[in-house]
């Protein structure tokens, strides 16, 4: 075990706390049990959610890394701690949609469940104070968060993540409907996938279930008051564990 000392709290978000450590190239992320939706208008404490999301995310990051996708992930520790490389996160939510659902169906005339080929890539400005608004091309340019080369690189990386995860989830009977990524730059300028990839940040439908509510295995169960949130997340972890060994303990 590579020993490290936990340092001060650097940042607290809705689902995680990020701590410095005594090593400059290492941050410790604690996954919380709190669940929020609709920019935290809806909140609950769901026992075990932190552990489930930490494990699922760790396994998905390990699979991405083995597939050649760089991420901030270094390993896990205990039940709900993940060790990561420090990254300057770009304040963009990169959403890839393979199937129409969620906000897309509220904002334009498209039936939920409509396949999207090629997948849609939507960019949102990540700032709770503005409720993470959708960005037009003109607004994206005006914000100047990334240059045109970085924009191409981040879209290509997000699409690569989609290709890898679509295939992985299909193997375990899950439709990856859509998901949100956060990307950032490491100290040496490498673009990597950061944050988490879990049923909080993905829509996952059970391919063996037809009912449009029963098939939901992600945070929509919480958003829509469907119950069985933790059971659904547990089912996702169980299936992912069936095809990916790990996660690796840090150190």
Interface with ligand TMP (CB under 6 A): 95, 102-104, 132, 178-180, 201-203
How large is the angle between the packed helices 49-66 and 148-171, nearest 10 degrees?
110
CA 150 to chain centre: 20
Binding partner of 178, given ligand ASP, ligand TMP, none, CB within 5-8 angstroms per partner class? ligand TMP
Among 4, 7, 10, 14, binds ligand ASP (CB under 6 A): 14
- Which does residue 239 bind out of ligand ASP, ligand TMP, none, counting CB within 5 to 8 angstroms by kind? none
Binding partner of 215, given ligand TMP, ligand ASP, none, CB within 5-8 angstroms per partner class = none
Q: Least CB distance from residue 218 to ligand TMP, whole Å? A: 7
Contacts of 71 (CB under 8 A, 6+ apart): 61, 64, 65, 192, 193, 194
Pairwise CA distance, residues 106 & 131, whole Å = 16
Residue at shortest CB range from ligand ASP? 36
For residues 219 and 107, what is the distance between their CA atoms, to the nearest angstrom? Answer: 20
Residue 38 interacts, among ligand ASP, ligand TMP, none and using kind-specific CB cut-offs from 5 to 8 Å, with ligand ASP
Closest CA to 201 of 124, 105, 115: 124
Q: Taking the complex as a whole, how short is the minimal distance between the CB of residue 80 and ligand ASP, in angstroms? A: 18
CA distance 189 to 155: 17
Smaller CB separation from ligand ASP, 70 or 102: 102
Residue 244 CB neighbours (<10 A)? 17
Return the one option of ligand TMP, ligand ASP, none that residue 71 interacts with (CB less than 5 to 8 A, by type). Answer: none
- Residue 36 contact among ligand ASP, ligand TMP, none, beta carbon within 5 to 8 Å by kind: ligand ASP
Sketch the per residue contact string, 21 through 40, with ligand ASP: x for CB under 6 A, - otherwise: ---------------xxxxx
CB of residue 21 vs ligand TMP: minimum separation in angstroms? 26
14 binds, among ligand ASP, ligand TMP, none (CB under 5 to 8 A by kind): ligand ASP
Closest by CA position to 102, among listed 13, 8, 223: 223
Based on CB atoms, which residue is closest to ligand TMP, 178 or 235? 178
- 42: how many CB neighbours lie within 10 A of its CB? 12
Quote the least distance from Cβ 237 to ligand TMP, whole Å.
17
Residue corresponding to tokens 């929020």: 36
Query: What is d(CA 164, CA 156) in angstroms, rounded to the nearest whole number?
Result: 12
Q: Which residue is nearest to ligand TMP (CB)?
A: 102
Could you give the C-alpha distances from 136 to 17, 140, 141, 143, 162, in angstroms and in order?
A: 31, 6, 9, 11, 22
Which residues contact ligand ASP by CB under 6 A?
A: 14, 36-40, 219, 223
């Amino acid at each position: 075990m590579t020993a490290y000392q936990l340092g001060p709290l650097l940042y607290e978000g809705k689902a995680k706390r990020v701590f410095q450590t005594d090593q400059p190239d290492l941050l410790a992320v604690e996954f919380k049990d709190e669940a929020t939706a609709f920019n935290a208008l809806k909140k609950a404490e769901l026992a075990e959610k932190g552990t489930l999301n930490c494990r699922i995310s760790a396994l998905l990051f390990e699979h991405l890394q083995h597939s050649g996708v760089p991420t901030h992930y270094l390993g896990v520790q205990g039940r709900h701690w993940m060790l990561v490389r420090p990254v300057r996160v770009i304040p963009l939510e990169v959403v890839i949609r393979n199937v129409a659902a969620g906000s897309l169906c509220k904002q334009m005339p498209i039936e939920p469940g409509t396949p999207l080929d090629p997948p849609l890539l939507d960019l949102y400005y990540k700032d709770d104070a503005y409720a993470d608004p959708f960005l037009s091309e003109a607004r994206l340019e005006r914000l100047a968060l990334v240059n045109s080369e970085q924009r191409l690189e981040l879209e290509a990386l997000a699409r690569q993540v989609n290709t890898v995860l679509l295939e992985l989830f299909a193997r375990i009977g899950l439709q990856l409907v859509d998901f949100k990524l956060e990307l950032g730059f490491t100290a040496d300028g490498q673009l990597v996938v950061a944050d988490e990839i879990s049923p909080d940040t993905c829509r996952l439908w059970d391919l063996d279930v037809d009912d449009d509510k029963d098939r939901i295995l992600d945070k929509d169960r919480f958003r829509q008051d469907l119950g069985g949130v933790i059971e659904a997340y547990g089912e996702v972890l169980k299936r992912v564990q069936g095809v990916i060994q790990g996660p690796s303990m840090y150190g």
